[in-house]
Amino acid sequence: MSEKIVVPALGESITEATVAKWLKNTGDSVDADEPIVELETDKVNLEVPSPITGVLTEINSKDGSVVEVGALLGSVSENGSGVKPSTTKNEEVKKQEIEHSENNVIKLDPIKKEPKVFEETLKVEEQSEKPLVLSDEVIDQGPTINNTQSQTLSPAVRKIVAENKIDLATVQGSGKDGRVLKGDLISMMGANPKPSERKIQYGQEERIKMTRLRQTIAKRLKQAQENAALLTTFNEVDMTNIMQMRKENQEDFQSRYNIKLGFMSFFVKACVVALKNFPAVNAEIDGDEIIYKNYYNISFAVGTDKGLVVPVLRNADELSFADIEKNIKEISEKAKDGKLVIEDLQGGTFTISNGGVYGSMLSTPILNLPQSGVLGMHNIVDRPVVVDGEIKIRPIMYLALSYDHRIIDGKESVSFLKMIKENLEEPRRLFLDI
């Protein structure tokens, strides 16, 4: 009995995918529901499982081919019938080793003995013995300068030659009678930089096809710039109180919930409070209508090897600090392992992007359409600030709010960001929902 492997339904508005790689080869045994091939879509990568336990008998779509929903990828047989014979590497090696067979005796190539280094070393030592040098220092024998050269070279030139082990025979002197000058050595050392390793390995240029995910990222970012009236407002946050609260409660929090208390939970809570007070930031435009959303699904950007993905933390207003930290950790690990599904990326109402983990000081984040707002977090740096008339050093983070000016006015955007700032600088307000 043989079962076909077909492209499953890929989610809303996705009709085709690219075969990223086969996880099994023809002739390999597979178990039911075991991942057998990986597909790449516009949003996520997904693994197609084997329908039955058996042997992969046929591969119809090779790596890199574009397939539509329902297309045939391959087939699995219960008994392995129909497997095309393939020559394994071991068989090829055996064929190379066997020269010929005569009277049922297999003649093999004679084993080539590797030369014994120690034997050669002994012979060299016997031929010429070197005098024993009674010194604690190892003398580095660099290029030697004969007496004639030493007389014509300046002290500065001799020093450069000795330190950099330069062979004077390779240097074209520009002085009188071809005398090597200091400038000749400096020019030679600076004029011959080594090419980069990538240039050596891949040549002058590389041309690599963009992945579907990268193509989608580029398309959506361009759409955001073209279709929305983008504007960014900035503010700064004194992180002293949050850092102090984390320090005082980190041990108890971790022992109770088995997870560290990070900054993201504070920012998510602060954003939810501000979104409730400024509903336009949590809304979107649909044609000539505004859709106000009374739920708070916070998208957060995660950088992966394959590109930027923005999974969703659902119903953030109903989650505790511990729940937020656990969910963010779980979703982030799924993103980095390529285990996200379409549902993990849909339904967000507001986005948080943390460029600070990479050292960003300031940025203007781009909207994640159809959302109307995105908050940019940045790195925390000790800066001098005025507190109660005195200059003090405080850990400061710059915040950036990019928003769609078609739906959000300047007063709303500035007030929204100011409320986030106030709740972060006085984190106890978050527990009072004010």
CATH value at residue 199: 4.10.320.10
Q: Could you tell me the maximum CA-CA distance found in the chain, to the nearest angstrom?
A: 103
Residue 295 included in any domain? yes
Residue 185 included in any domain? yes
Given the residues 33, 337, 409, 433, the one annotated as active site: 409
Give the Cα separation of 257 and 27 in Å (integer): 47
Are both 265 and 354 inside the same structural domain?
yes
Domain boundary among 25, 51, 77: 77
Residue 339 included in any domain? yes
Are both 154 and 259 inside the same structural domain?
no
Residue 388 included in any domain? yes
Are both 34 and 47 inside the same structural domain?
yes
Are both 216 and 317 inside the same structural domain?
yes
Active site includes 100? no
- How many separate domains does the chain show? 3
Residue 138 included in any domain? no
Residue 311 included in any domain? yes
Are both 194 and 268 inside the same structural domain?
no
Are both 254 and 368 inside the same structural domain?
yes
Give the Cα separation of 354 and 268 in Å (integer): 12
What range does the domain containing 422 cover? Answer: 212-431
Q: What confidence score (pLDDT) does residue 201 get?
A: 81
Q: What confidence score (pLDDT) does residue 124 get?
A: 44
Domain boundary among 170, 193, 209: 209
Domain boundary among 53, 77, 101: 77
Other CB atoms within a 10 A radius of the CB of residue 46 amount to 21
Active site includes 378? no
Are both 395 and 268 inside the same structural domain?
yes
Which pTM value belongs to this model? 0.62
| Residues recorded for the chain | 434
Write the CATH number for 49: 2.40.50.100
Are both 258 and 407 inside the same structural domain?
yes
In one letter, which amino acid is 390?
Answer: E
Residue 51 included in any domain? yes
pLDDT, block means (10 residues), the chain with 434 residues: 82 77 87 85 78 86 84 81 50 48 48 48 47 47 55 77 78 78 73 71 82 80 86 96 94 94 94 96 93 95 82 93 94 86 89 92 92 95 93 96 95 96 92 69
Given the residues 28, 317, 323, 405, the one annotated as active site: 405
